[in-house]
Structure 1
């Protein structure tokens, strides 16, 4: 059964804008950022998602953990980060349409932090903010059935994936299927659903924007609870996705340098022979002089092999050591 929501004019407008931005990112070959940028975005994502849940570690400390350096911080906070690193590193191995995989991911994310990581709750819980009950999730005995229905909607409904990912995120938080870790799991799983169709979402800074708009995030969850449908939350999440895509277009066009361009092009070309024109077709916003400079630099650094002269100059990437 389809969860309750309505397609508002705002949802239609945002969906169309998001699709346009995805097209722009693909056209400009920015869908897979350079390695350094991917690493920074991953760290930002982990830090933001965990900070929303009260973790105290900074991006610098998370970087240190990634580099196996010693970090002075509460044990629980360090474990949360180590678990999040593991789960994000395994992201591509999970099937977003599988309840078993969701349980497996929760098992990694919450290992050593809760009593039964990876197990759906069977008991009853209440979400308390201050002195009042903010949200009363469904009875524990209903959780398994509700999650099966939610995955059936995700797998089989003909709604567009962008909207389904937002509906899933809201319904997941509403059901609250685990005793703990539901917030970070809901955000992680929406990313995974979107990645299935648009790989660029693996490194999009969605979490950091949610962190900035944390109050609104909870307000929209609450609004959807009160209205009995996820429409307000879908609108909010689509606006966050749109902002993330705009940020990618802006920052990557601003910060991409010669080394980034060469590395991105290596990932695209592999072992194929190419000319300067091919390189410029890939990076439409650079001049021919910049393209020549990039390629010469890569030849001098031993990254590219060059043959021929003038218009007949051809390049091929040399194999990397190790």
Structure 2
């Protein structure tokens, strides 16, 4: 049986112990009265985080609107990506993480109307680029079915801890890059499915959201593991992300979040990653301009203005004084 190359460090062992303790506490949290709403919140965060890693700009509030059947103004492709992700995560319980056939079904749902060969392995070569620089050339297309078969066989038969197996699978899947598009989304989903075999709470843990917040470190961990021909570095990175996510979510409270008539649920749960970044910039400099925000975040001026408008509508910021000489006041 093929065994992917990885090593288990002392840090890995400590993280497994810490995560195991936090999982039980998080499970208790998910049994409280507001658990149903919290699951919806975390599902939205999961979808927003996973898609944002791939460049989707829709905020949590916009995803909430789509989930609730409302119309939004946004690029058609990005709306389709969200709709597909919602359908895919709604099918979470129908997927067997040990089934290659289910992997293909999930890809078909996730990439519907987005790629030509949805639900099928790629037929050509593919590389991963950082700008114009090639950072990873995936294995030849004719090897993909065999590599995936070997990976799933290891996943089914290995006696390693599920936390480790989920991380190794995630890394190996991204290395193989079996699809022409959607590899990141499916890889992160599949890690969640594997973790779900360890404990059901992982279905509602938005690890993707925190990975997006540490996106460069995520890619660095993948690249360093590739250079070392050993996924141990990536294992430690992902376990740390899982630990931090569990630790952060222990005290989630919905009742402390401010509700407004403009936002269907609560302001606190509808603040996207980019909106959070805008708030941080405003806290550091309350006279910063939309153009300066766009430059610092690497987004368009229009997108920057849309984020500011969204925060204003949610009652989280307000403009004091004129556009030229005034400043931003953070309300919540």
Deviation (angstroms), 1:45: 0.8
Is residue 125–residue 179 contact of structure 1 (8 Å, CA) maintained in 2? yes
TM-score norm. by structure 2 comes to 0.74
Q: Which residue of 2 aligns with 1:84?
A: 85
Shift of 1:131: 2.1
Within 5 Å, give how 1:7-26 maps onto structure 2.
7-26=8-27
**Helix, strand or coil: the match of 1:105?**
helix
SS in 2 for 1:145: helix
Partner Cα separation in structure 1 for residue 227 and residue 98 of structure 2: 28
Secondary structure, aligned partner of 1:250: coil
Return the alpha-carbon distance in structure 1 between the equivalents of residues 105 and 182 of structure 2: 13
Asked if the contact 2:29/2:250 (under 8 Å) is kept, the reply is no
Is the contact made by 2:50 and 2:185 (CA closer than 8 Å) also made in structure 1? yes
Q: In the superposition, relative to structure 1, how do residues 224 and 238 fare at CA in structure 2: closer, same or farther (>3 Å)?
A: same
SS at match of 2:107: helix
Look up the match of 1:30.
30
Matched, 1:198 2:199: yes
What's the CA shift string for 1:205-248, capped at 9, x where partnerless? Answer: 20110010001000000001100010000000000111111122
| Structure-2 separation of matches of 1:123 and 1:31 | 47
Unaligned runs of 5+ in 1: 257-322
Which residue in 1 is equivalent to 2:267? none
Shift in CA distance, 96/138, structure 1 to aligned 2, threshold 3 Å: same
Aligned to 2:186, the other structure's residue is in SS state helix
Distance in 2 of aligned mates of 1:254 and 1:38: 15
Q: Deviations over 1:231-269 (max 9, x none)?
A: 00000000011111112212259969xxxxxxxxxxxxx
Aligned to 1:216: 217
Aligned to 1:319: none
> Is residue 167–residue 191 contact of structure 2 (8 Å, CA) maintained in 1?
yes
2:155 aligned residue: 154
Name the counterpart of 2:50.
49
- Aligned partner of 1:279 in structure 2 is none
Structure 1 Cα separation of the partners of residues 181 and 59 of structure 2? 22
Unaligned runs of 5+ in 2: 258-332
How many residue pairs match? The answer is 255
In structure 2, the CA distance between the partners of 1:69 and 1:84, relative to structure 1 (3 Å rule), is same
CA distance in 1, matches of 2:222, 2:26: 29
Runs of 4 or more above 4 Å deviation: 252-256
Alignment pair present for 1:115 and 2:106:
no
Contact residue 223 and residue 232 of structure 1 kept, 8 A? yes
Secondary structure of the 2:134 match is: strand
Retained in 2: the 8 A contact 1:45–1:207? Answer: yes
1:31·1:200 contact (CA, 8 Å) conserved in 2? no
Q: Which has the larger radius of gyration?
A: 1
TM-superposed deviation, 1:34? 1.2
Structure 1 contact 30–252 (Cα < 8 Å) conserved: no
- Cα deviation, 1:26-66, whole Å, max 9, x if unaligned, reads 4x353686111111111111111111101111111111111
Superposed CA RMSD in Å reads: 1.6
